Every structure is written in C-alpha cells, then in structure tokens.
Structure 1
C-alpha cells in the first residue's frame, strides 16, 4: 500500500496547535537556506580571484561552478526520501554540520582539482538541507494561508542569501584571500545547529516502507549521467562518450520510473506527476532556472573583469535582483490568491524573459541605468514565480511525502542550475574563445588568454602598452558578445516557460485546505 494513502493527521506533533513555536522554527530553517544561497553567489564573485590563484582551465572553471549542482541534483531525491524515513530534523542537522566542515576544506583548496572535489562534497551536504527545510515547512504549517506566507519567507531568504553573499563576499575579497568567502558559512551553521536542535520538531513519514537501495543507485547515476552528457555535449559536441552517457542516463531513469510504479513503497511516488499542477510547477522551475543560471554565473565576471568594478561594488550592483525577489516572495501568496496561480507564475516568467531580452543590448560600457532595472525585474519576476510554484508543489501532496515532493522541486531547481551553466556557460565560453589576439602574444600565453577572461587580464598585464590594451579590449568584447547571445537564448527559454505555465497551471488554486489539496495527487493511485 502506497504511503500517500496515510491520513495527514498522523503527525500531530507538527501541527501548529501542538507547536506554538513554529515561527521561531521557521526562522531557524531559513538559516539553512541562507547558507546555501550565500554559497552559490559568493562563488561567482570569487571566480576571478580563484582563477588567478588556482589557474583552472576554462573547462575546470565550469566544473568548479557546476559540480556542486550536479551532485545535489543526483542526490536530492534520495535525501528527500531519506528524510521522510529517518526524520527531517535529524537529516537537516547532520547536513548542516557537514556543510560547515566541508566549507572549511573548500576555503583551503590548493588546486583546481582539489576545488572540484571539495565542491562535490559540498553538494553531498547541500542535498540534505533543501528538501528538509521545505518538507518541515509543509508539516509546520498545514493552514494554507500561513503556509503561503512561510514559503514566501523561505523563498525570500533564498534571495537574501543571494544578496548577502555578494556584499559580504565583496568586503571579504577586498580585505582577505578568496577562501574567506566560504568561511562565512560557519556562523550560520552554528546558529542552525544550536537553536535548531532545541526548537525544530521532528517529522517523518509514519509508514515509509523499506529503503530501496537499487532505486537510490538508479536515480543518482541516471541524473548525473544525463547532466554530464548535456554539459560535455555543449562543450565538445556529440562525442562517443557523450552519446553513451546520454543513452545510459535515459535508460537508467526509465528503469527507475518503472521500478517506482511497481514498488508498494517507492523511493519517489511517480503518481504525483499525474497531478497537472504539480508537473506544471516542477517544469516551470526547471526551465526558469535553466534560463537564469548560466547568465547569473557570468554576470559577476562581467561586472568585475569587463566593467572594472571592485568585488564589493559588483556585489552591491547585484542587490536589486535580490531585493526584488524578497519583495515578490513575501507578496506572492496574496497576489496568486487575488488573481490566479497561472497568472502570477506566467507574468513572473514573462518579466524575467523581458529582462533577459534587454541584455541583448549589453556593451562593455553599459551604464547602471540599464543594468539596475534589468536586475530588479529579474528579481521581481523570479521571486513571484518561484514562491507560487513552491507553494503549489507542497500543497499538491500529502504531508507524509513532503520530503520526496520537496526533493522533486529542488531537483528541478538544481538540474536547471547545472544545465544552465553547462549550456549557456558553454555558449559564452565558445564565443569567447574565438577572439583575435595581437601578434606579440606567444602560443602559451594565447592559450591562457583564450582559456578564461581572468587569464586574458593576466596576459595583458605582461604585455607592453598598446598590445596589452588591444588584447584586453578584444577579450572583453568577445566575453560580452557571448553574454549577449546567452541572454537572448535565455529570453526564449523563459518565454516558452511562461506559455507552458499558463497552460499547465490552469485551474490551479492556493486557497484549498490541506486535505483537499492532497486529494488530486492521491486519486490517480487509487
């Protein structure tokens, strides 16, 4: 018998009546979200310094950027289901401790290869945090309006992490070495562990069934193989290993789905996808992040290496996106109830598409009069869309399966990040590599200059006067050209996501009671 048939009243300890401290518990949960949000944004800011010190190749730089998301994407379903079984509080606290410890290792990485390994381990720890926080919110707030606001706070704090990361990171990068940006995770982890252990209620699925190891292995290897194939295919074309990885990944995921449909207690209840609102929300998340991630990853490099801003100035310049997202996240539930779910999500995605399309006019000397409004619009649109889709996903499932459902949501998010950096990042890198070099540049120096924009800055510094200026100008123009192309493609993807959301989320509402919201997901499995 599937676990989602269990009544939703089996977890009285997490009901708001039994837990008047739920708002304090929420405050602790968003610490974990801040942790992950900060870590994601400071990497982009630290990339020029990291490149100078560790000297990664262009490919290694992409791996440093997206290995974290690859690992998280591969593990989220497993960790979400694990939290449902062993307890979400327990998994969250163990993950937070591991995240803090691995952050120390990341800060002191001594080579590009070591940095990739530490970022992968950080992904393992990060995979325990995100599904646990959303699942605990689902159980702490069965009242739909309270839950909408709580999800809005959760989404807003994700953006606050994005806001705090660049500013604090910028300050640290101007006064300390690049590794210091990863050490800011430690105080957040300490608060989460000390306070969370006291105020968070434990919650789990009361009848989860046995742990299915083959399903764990199938989901992990299948997702990682598919993402690897996309990444390498974007960089090097349809090589034999890329085609092999793609075929193997699709086959493994097909076997995983087939196995889940046959198991009495699956790792992931695939019948949830028969609920159109659930599927639509997940797909909207995936396409949105795919459109955003690659561009955001390269924006910090544009602000610093192309426009010559200091790390702190670049961090402050990115603040409008985070502030817009925080504002929209807190108001999203009210907006969706007064208009419609599909209207809120589609308008949010269309706004981000418009902002991305405006980036087609970016130039080396583009003023902040264009950049600032673009970033604000990105934040407002993404904050509105993400908060509403997260609410839809949570309210579409029985709370016993909140961990698994949250993991699906987060897997879409992380998969989008990985694919966005891989595909859009590869477009930027591919266009950048084609720029012409002055005759004075040696073959070795030319390779370094074409490897990354940071490398070109270093090579230019070692050339006499006009040759160095010419190299730097050509490299910056090539990088900006790549950014414009990637932004234009992002706009197309996001516009398509807006149309899909309008179709798939029709009739979806937020004001249903938890019991009614669970019903559509449970009916097809009967």
Structure 2
C-alpha cells in the first residue's frame, strides 16, 4: 500500500466534502500549469528580439525554441514514476526550485549556447511539474465527481495560459527586455515553494520497487529521437529529410524494445498493461490524435494570419487566442455534461463538434471563417481533455497516478510533434504543387515568395503574392479536411469503445478502470 500524509482532516475521501484547504491546494497546483503554458507560447514572440541581441543563428534559434519541449517529452515518463516512489510533493518542490533558478539563468543568458542549455534544463524541471500536479490532485480529491471538476479547472488553466502567453509576452516586451519573459516564473515558483509544504499532501508508494534505469535510458532513447525527427521534418528541405527519418525510425525501434521490457517487469516504469482497458486505450488514442489535429491546424492558422492576412505577430497571437480560450471553456463545461450523459457520450459528442468546427477552415477564407473554425473546433475538445485526463489518472490505484499522468502527457507531446511534422509537411506539399510554375524559393514556401516579390516589378510582385496566398490558403483548406476526418473518426472510436468494459487482465482495485465510461 502507498503511504499518505495529508496533514489535515479535510481530505476528500469516500465522498467527503472538500474543504477550503483542498481548493487552495488546487489553486496552488494550477499555478505551474498556467505558467508553463504561458512560458511555451510567450517565447515565440520573444524569439526575434533575443535572437538579435544574442546573435543567434537559425539553427540556434531552433534549439532555443525546441530544447524545452524535447527534454519535457523525454523525461516526463521518468519523472511521473519517480514522484510515485520518492514523493510527489517532494518532486514538485524540487522541480519548482530548479525551474526558478534556471529561469533566472535564462533571463540573463549572455550567449545562445547558455540559453539553449538553460532551456534544456528548464525542460527537465518542467517534466517534474505536470505529472506531479495531476497526481497530487488525485490524492486530494478522491471523490470521482470532485476530482473531475478539479481536473477540469487544471486543464482550463493550461489552455488559458497558452492563449494569454503571447499577449503577456507582448506587454512585457513593450516595456522590458526579452529576459522578463523568463523572470515571470521566479515569483510563481517561490510562492509554490513557500505554500507547498503547508497546503499539499505528501504521497509515495513505499511498496514500489527501484526505478529500472535501463527503462529510463530506453524511454529517453526512444522519445527524444522521435520528437527531434518529427520536428525536423517540418523545417528540413527535401534533400535533408533523411536524417530526421532515420531518427524517427531509430526511436521507433527503441520504443518497441521499451514496450517489450515494460510488459515483462514486475514494477515497470510505464504500466502499459492499462491499455488492455479498451475505453482507456481509446481515450489515450484520442488524446494523441486530437493533439495531431490541433497542433497541425494551429500551425497553419497562425501562419495564415501573419503571412496571408498580414497581421503582426502580436495581433496574430490575440486573434488566435479564441482557440485556447475555447478549449478552456470546453473543459469547464465537461463536469456539467457528465451529470446528464455518460462520459463517453460527452467526449464523443465534443469530438463531433470539433469535426464540424474544422469545416469553415476547409471551405472558406478570411479571419471570420478562421475565428469560427478554431473556436468551435477547440470548444469540442474540452470534454476530451478534462474527462479523458480524469479517466487516465483515475484508472489506476492512487500509488500509480504519477505514472498514469506521465502516460497522458507523453501522448500529448508526441501528438503535438506529429501534428506539426505531418500536417506541416502536407501543407508544404500542397503549396509546392500549386506553385510549381514559380522558380526558386517562391515555389517552396510562402516566406520565399514574399522575399522574391521584393525583387520584382510591382505588377509581377502582386501576381506572385496573389498566387502564393492562394496556394497557402488551399493548404489550409486541406488541413481543415484532414482535421475533420481525424475528429470524426475519434468520435466514432470513443463512442463505440464506451459500450464495452475493460478487458480481462486490467488491474483490479479501482472501479473507474472498469466503469469510467459506464
């Protein structure tokens, strides 16, 4: 059995009402979630200025952007399981202290290499935060309904932070230097360090075996090359795609070795036996492929706003905010929906709404159609992110909640990376096919066409830009169609999987593992 030290009698167990202390703890746990989401998106606006100040090359800019995500994706599996073993509060506070210290280093980085190293270390620290916060929520809110509401609030903070991150960055960059984007994290993490020992329970699984270091190495060796390869596919030229493809293949092979090892260990790093539960497997699949559709759509829409409609980066961030805010609204609606329908029905209905929301992106142009599309698309995913995440962390005994949370987060990262790579490649292919009459860089990218138009007489420049804008808009339409198909198929998958119980062999001891969709 696990060891729990709540330190307070208002623990929400067996349906007992959650008290003020528990909701204050939830507010504290929401802070790192909100901050990390803001930090990820805020960097996009800060990147041009910090690159200019530090003299970063194109490759260095790419690593400044991606080092954080790479390390989070690589370490989140290990950190989720580590928290179950050494204590979730201890891991959260350790990660918060490291995040504050490294954020200060990043803010005052004197050169690109220092900043890249700081971003990588921030990723390692960030990997401790999300699984720890989710697992601690399951410790504090044992009642299924209250836990669902708490996770919906947690997810709302995640997507609200993503929506407001660029806006906050724009405000900071108007008044301060680029390092202020990183310094925002310091007071938030200090607050967590001060209040965490008072408000948060400690939980660790004393019966768990030692962490299998071979599995840790295999998880890193599998995830890091795959995420690297997927991201590189979006920026590599046609003749440079061999390296990322080899990285993806190598990661896939090592991933297969990792999976085989987890299925044979008594105390696996990641309990893949949970996937025998068909509803749970369907939700994890939906989380991955919804990430594919949303990341790919977001990539195309943000480029469309800036490169076709001509908005500035800050204006584009504001105009793109409805996507994050709509997901946040959808997560808050989810607990209300499950009072009237089964969770599977709520999730599947939301995914059907998302499929409908993709149609304006597939059929129309201009900002009104884009705004309607991304808002409806995102609103429909809310029940999946709230109820699906609740199902994943609630499908295991409490002592393994951190491991389950890391499974959900890994799926999200891989889905987002896959979406950027695959959808980005499809959009580029559509553009190239429509611009095959052009020469040089103009035939490869919209940015190349814009640069090329600056060297042409006005009539020819106008014609080139018209063709390039039309070609990119066609790519957006194709992306909308792909996203429509993905969401429609996911809706069917979740709806049909919810009609069956768990397969034999799913660990017993947690009713929700069998009946969460019932």
Change (3 A) 1:13 1:114: closer
In the alignment, does 2:366 pair up with 1:372?
no
Indicate the SS of the match to 2:205.
coil
Change (3 A) 1:275 1:367: closer
- Measured in 2, the distance between the counterparts of 1:26 and 1:391 equals 15
Q: Which residue of 1 aligns with 2:511?
A: 517
Q: Which residue of 2 aligns with 1:355?
A: 357
Alignment of 1:142-221 (within 5 A): 142-175=142-175, 180-221=180-221
Question: Does the 8 Å contact 1:328/1:384 carry over to 2?
Answer: yes
Change (3 A) 1:478 1:119: farther
With the length of structure 2 as denominator, give the TM-score of the two structures: 0.84
In the alignment, does 2:475 pair up with 1:482?
yes
Q: Aligned-pair distance for 1:400?
A: 0.2
- Measured in 2, the distance between the counterparts of 1:55 and 1:469 equals 33
Q: Aligned-pair distance for 1:260?
A: 2.2
- Measured in 2, the distance between the counterparts of 1:414 and 1:16 equals 37
In the alignment, does 2:410 pair up with 1:411?
yes
Alignment of 1:383-402 (within 5 A): 383-402=382-401
Offset from partner CA, 1:316-367 (integer Å, 9 cap, x none) = 323322332222212212312421111111111222222223212343xx14
Change (3 A) 1:285 1:237: farther
Question: Does the 8 Å contact 1:345/1:384 carry over to 2?
Answer: yes
Q: Which residue of 1 aligns with 2:505?
A: none
Offset from partner CA, 1:163-217 (integer Å, 9 cap, x none) = 3213222333455565544443334333333333432222222222112110100
Indicate the SS of the match to 1:11.
strand
Q: Aligned-pair distance for 1:424?
A: 1.4
Indicate the SS of the match to 2:204.
coil
Question: Does the 8 Å contact 2:229/2:245 carry over to 1?
Answer: yes
Question: Does the 8 Å contact 2:278/2:500 carry over to 1?
Answer: no
Question: Does the 8 Å contact 1:65/1:421 carry over to 2?
Answer: no
In the alignment, does 2:285 pair up with 1:291?
no
Q: Aligned-pair distance for 1:291?
A: 0.8
- Measured in 2, the distance between the counterparts of 1:433 and 1:107 equals 39
Q: Aligned-pair distance for 1:285?
A: 0.4
Q: Which residue of 2 aligns with 1:303?
A: 305
Structure scoring higher RCO (CA < 8 A, sep ≥ 6) equals 1
Q: Which residue of 1 aligns with 2:125?
A: 125
Q: Aligned-pair distance for 1:133?
A: 0.8
Q: Aligned-pair distance for 1:401?
A: 0.2
Indicate the SS of the match to 2:203.
coil
Q: Aligned-pair distance for 1:250?
A: 3.0
Indicate the SS of the match to 1:318.
helix
Q: Which residue of 2 aligns with 1:492?
A: 485
Deviation larger for 404-413 or 499-508: 499-508
CA RMSD of aligned residues (A): 3.6
Q: Aligned-pair distance for 1:37?
A: 1.2
Change (3 A) 1:78 1:473: same
Question: Does the 8 Å contact 1:166/1:314 carry over to 2?
Answer: no
Change (3 A) 1:317 1:60: same
Deviation larger for 241-250 or 458-467: 458-467
Q: Which residue of 1 aligns with 2:422?
A: 423
In the alignment, does 2:270 pair up with 1:268?
yes
Q: Which residue of 2 aligns with 1:25?
A: 25
Q: Which residue of 2 aligns with 1:335?
A: 337
Indicate the SS of the match to 1:262.
coil
Structure 1 unaligned segments of length 5 or more: list them.
1-5, 522-526
Alignment of 1:211-250 (within 5 A): 211-231=211-231, 236=238, 241=243, 244-250=246-252
Question: Does the 8 Å contact 1:51/1:454 carry over to 2?
Answer: no
- Measured in 1, the distance between the counterparts of 2:142 and 2:267 equals 24
Q: Aligned-pair distance for 1:85?
A: 1.4
- Measured in 2, the distance between the counterparts of 1:272 and 1:486 equals 33
Q: Aligned-pair distance for 1:266?
A: 1.9
In the alignment, does 2:311 pair up with 1:318?
no
- Measured in 1, the distance between the counterparts of 2:197 and 2:175 equals 34
Change (3 A) 1:378 1:45: farther
Q: Aligned-pair distance for 1:300?
A: 3.0
Q: Which residue of 1 aligns with 2:6?
A: 13
**When the two structures are aligned, how many residues end up with a matched partner?**
500
Q: Which residue of 1 aligns with 2:83?
A: 83
Change (3 A) 1:385 1:153: same
Q: Which residue of 1 aligns with 2:258?
A: 256
Question: Does the 8 Å contact 1:355/1:375 carry over to 2?
Answer: yes
Q: Which residue of 1 aligns with 2:16?
A: none
Indicate the SS of the match to 2:263.
helix
Q: Which residue of 2 aligns with 1:42?
A: 42
- Measured in 2, the distance between the counterparts of 1:63 and 1:344 equals 39
